[in-house]
């Protein structure tokens, strides 16, 4: 099954979209949710799109553990270390790393297919 056909990818994507509408469209602030929901959902969405692209163009059906960690770490460092230096709207927060790690786990177990599911 392709990534974009999985509810495990669509759940974080739809939660992210709804949160953006609530936060920026309606101007409703939700405190801790505003602070930590985006880091939690960022990696499942982005790595899912990356995996889908690899599937379309190269036929790769899953990411290895090393690929997942390297891509997740690279995206996390860009989002948490570089973007706050370039754009004041992005804020550095060490706690975000916990939520990026949880999102990486969501991608690994919920979106990235296991070996037994890719051999068919």
User: How far is residue 87's CA from residue 69's CA, in Å, rounded to a whole number?
Assistant: 26
Q: How many CA atoms lie within 13 A of 92 on its CB side?
A: 8
Residues belonging to the chain: 120
Q: Does 15 have pLDDT greater than 50?
A: yes
pTM of the model: 0.90
Instruction: Specify the pLDDT at position 1.
Output: 56
- Confidence bin at 89 (pLDDT 50/70/90): confident
Give the distance, in angstroms, between the CA of residue 82 and the centroid of all CA atoms in the same chain. Answer: 17
Q: Where are the alpha helices (DSSP H) in the chain?
A: 7-20, 32-58, 65-77, 83-86, 96-106, 115-118
Q: How many other CB atoms sit within 10 Å of the CB of residue 12?
A: 22
31-86 pLDDT, tens digit each:
999 999 999 999 999 999 999 999 999 999 999 999 999 999 999 999 999 999 99
User: How far is residue 23's CA from residue 30's CA, in Å, rounded to a whole number?
Assistant: 8
Domain residue extents for the chain: 3-113
Residues 80, 97 contacting (CB under 8 angstroms): yes
User: How far is residue 112's CA from residue 61's CA, in Å, rounded to a whole number?
Assistant: 8
């Amino acid at each position: 099954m392709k990534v974009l056909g999985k509810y495990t990818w669509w759940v974080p994507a739809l939660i992210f979209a709804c949160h953006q509408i609530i936060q920026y469209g309606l101007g409703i602030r939700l405190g801790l949710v505003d602070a930590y929901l985006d880091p939690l959902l960022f990696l499942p969405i982005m790595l899912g799109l990356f995996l889908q692209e690899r599937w379309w163009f190269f036929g790769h059906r899953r990411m290895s553990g090393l690929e997942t960690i390297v891509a997740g770490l690279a995206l996390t460092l860009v989002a948490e270390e570089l973007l706050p230096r370039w754009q004041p709207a992005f804020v550095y927060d060490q706690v975000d790393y916990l939520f990026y790690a949880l999102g990486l786990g969501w991608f690994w177990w919920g979106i990235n297919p296991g070996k037994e599911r890719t051999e068919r």
